[in-house]
């Protein structure tokens, strides 16, 4: 099965990002495909390389980067939501790219299921 993923919440304010990441890992381990992960609203905060969590905390941004590198997952950040939060192309962590809502629409069309994490 091919999944599209939508993450609407930031990495440390809500469990949505952790849940989305764990869902993607589990789906890939079972042989499913992740068509794209689209970060929208506060979810765009998952993409910034400026995040520096304490050493004893999980690095959610790094997790997404490693997932993209290991499995070729397309990590797309909504341009409008990112700019509203001060996130620009040069601030993105490796593996992320900025694009528009058309990428979310395409993911909903191309994937068998679009799974939404967060409000």
Residue 78 catalytic?
yes
Q: Which distant-in-sequence residues (6+ apart) come within 8 Å of 77 by Cβ?
A: 39, 44, 47, 87, 92, 96, 97, 98, 99
> Listing from the earlier edge strand, what are the strands of the sheet with 96-99?
96-99, 75-78, 33-39, 2-7, 113-117
Strands, DSSP E only, in the chain? 2-7, 33-39, 75-78, 96-99, 113-117
Write out the two tokens for 56.
Answer: 């004893």
Q: Catalytic residue among 27, 78, 92, 104, which? A: 78
- Positions marked active-site: 78
């Amino acid at each position: 099965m091919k999944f599209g993923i939508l993450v609407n919440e930031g990495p440390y304010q809500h469990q949505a990002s952790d849940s989305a990441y764990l869902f993607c890992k589990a789906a890939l381990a079972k042989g499913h495909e992740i068509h794209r992960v689209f970060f929208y609203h506060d979810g765009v905060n998952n993409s910034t390389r400026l995040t520096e969590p304490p050493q004893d905390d999980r690095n959610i941004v790094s997790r997404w980067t490693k997932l993209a590198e290991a499995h070729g997952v397309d990590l797309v950040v909504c341009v409008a939501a990112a700019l509203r939060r001060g996130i620009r192309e040069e601030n993105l962590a490796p593996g992320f790219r900025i694009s528009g809502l058309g990428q979310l629409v395409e993911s909903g069309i191309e994937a068998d299921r679009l799974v939404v994490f967060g409000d």
